[in-house]
Structure 1
Amino acid sequence: MINVILHGANGRMGKVLQEIIADQENMTVAAGIDRETFAADFPTFQSLDECDVSADVVIDFSHYTAVPAVLDYCVGKQLPVVIATTGLNEDTKAYLAEASKKTAVFFSFNMSLGINLLAKAIREITPLLEDNFNIEIVEKHHNQKKDSPSGTALLLADAVNDAVQEKKTYIYGRHDNDLANPLSELGIHAVRGGTIPGEHTVIYAGPDEVIELNHLALSRNVFASGAVKAAKYISTKTIGLYNMEQLIDEK
């Protein structure tokens, strides 16, 4: 049985994770952490410092400002951790790497298996189109999402840059009146509205033809399911920085 400490347990994603973990035969929530008190079938705490429950892995779906403290806790307890929180700044991303020298850390800009398979496909397709096709990314999310562009849009943009001979410059929106729009630029555009869980489209626009690769998340379940898969994967690791691509490649 894999015992999970769920950090951000009473948030939108935390509630979805509770439901998905409850359906797992070999996994259970050992404790939930949330700054707001809430009722649950497992012990709850308002901070990790208060948590005295032993576990096999931590899943964090909270707020980017809380991630360093989560990493501190997991390093101190030698606990593997899945960081599913997005919007991390550069200092926190660097700390992920430092923490992974002392415990196992799993991080992805997006926990969806589909998105990460899309990134893998992008790396295969892009070299064949680089010389003649403009590449643009459009991402859509609900109106409560704070960061822009999404971490997933950057993940997909980085997948493009991993595959090209000449690295592309990221352009966030196009607001001028006299743009050249060269092939060396990659436009990234953000839409916010309603309750869209997440939609990402990679557009390859060439002479007389357009190819679009699209991923649509129909609910938050896809992200929670991916985080659960990540927790199972990393629960047996001791140190190292892991991601969804490694998980997929080991399948």
Structure 2
Amino acid sequence: MKVALIGYGAMGKFIEQRLLEKGHTVAGIVSLDQLKDINEVKDDFDVMIDFSNPANLSMLLDYATKNKKPLVIATTGFSEDQIKSIYDASKLAPIVYTANFSLGVTVFEEVLKMVTPILKDTFDIEVIEKHHNKKIDAPSGTAKMLVSAMNQDGEFEEVFGREGVAKRGKEIGVHAVRGGTIVGEHSVIFAGEDEVLEIKHEAHSKNIFANGAIKAAEFLVGQEPGVYTMNDVLFSK
């Protein structure tokens, strides 16, 4: 597999290393200190992996649609209009776009889809996410993704933090912690009468997201146009 790599920070460098270890080829790197534009990559390639910033999205979607090139989007922080543009572009090119590329979180999400219908009528549900003190958005995109997996029919009110005096209703509580250098922790607590079930995922380094993005790229080559998630990568037949 030949890859055009967008972004060459810590994540980009790790992806390059892992690609080479797995026998893949890096056809070109687009970053501030490398090539400036995806159109400057002269060698042909099979797929793009983007770990850069939202400012590059328009360029990448334009290239993907014009050249029918697969695109793995591992960048976050897009506006609603940008997210819409991803779905519009997916009509012409295959795209993997998801809130979290961790393989463990993807399995976590599937487990919640199975467990929630069984426990939802007799257990209260709370989500707690923890991240480093540099993370500016709260709650995390992953926490929102997990809540969506449990609340597919919209039957729960989604309560983000609590303050004051109020009786608990049919809700999912979501709480964010920011401190230190925590890479990422997500816990879902099902609290019933005399018992508690907690499902938890801890990210010990950002490398897990790079490994997931490479797996997504391997999956995406040869796929039809459309938006795919890590659920498709791991569970599609």
TM-score (norm 2): 0.94
Q: Which structure 1 residue ranges, 4+ long, deviate > 6 Å from structure 2?
A: none
SS at match of 2:151: helix
| 61-70 vs 223-232, greater mean Cα deviation | 61-70
| Distance in 2 separating the partners of 1:96 and 1:141 | 27
Q: Aligned to 1:31, which of 16, 28, 32?
A: 28
Map residues 81-96 of structure 1 onto 2, 5 A cutoff: 81-96=71-86
Question: Does structure 1 residue 172 correspond to structure 2 residue 160?
Answer: yes
| Distance in 1 separating the partners of 2:229 and 2:63 | 20
Unaligned stretches of 5+ residues in structure 2: none
Identical residues among aligned pairs (%)? 41
Map residues 160-239 of structure 1 onto 2, 5 A cutoff: 160-162=150-152, 167-174=155-162, 176-182=163-169, 184-239=170-225
The one-character-per-residue Cα deviations of 1:50-91 (angstroms, maximum 9, x if unpaired) are 333321100011123432332122112221000111222222
| Distance in 1 separating the partners of 2:134 and 2:40 | 30
TM-score (norm 1): 0.89
SS at match of 1:45: coil
Provide the residue aligned with 2:40 in structure 1: 50
Question: Does structure 1 residue 61 correspond to structure 2 residue 48?
Answer: no
Shift of 1:49: 4.2
The one-character-per-residue Cα deviations of 1:11-57 (angstroms, maximum 9, x if unpaired) are 221122122112112x121111112x1xxxxxx30232433332110
Unaligned stretches of 5+ residues in structure 1: 38-43
| CA distance 1:65–1:179, change in 2 (3 Å) | farther
| Distance in 1 separating the partners of 2:168 and 2:83 | 31
| CA distance 1:55–1:119, change in 2 (3 Å) | same
Q: How many residues align?
A: 237
Shift of 1:238: 3.8
| CA distance 1:66–1:145, change in 2 (3 Å) | farther
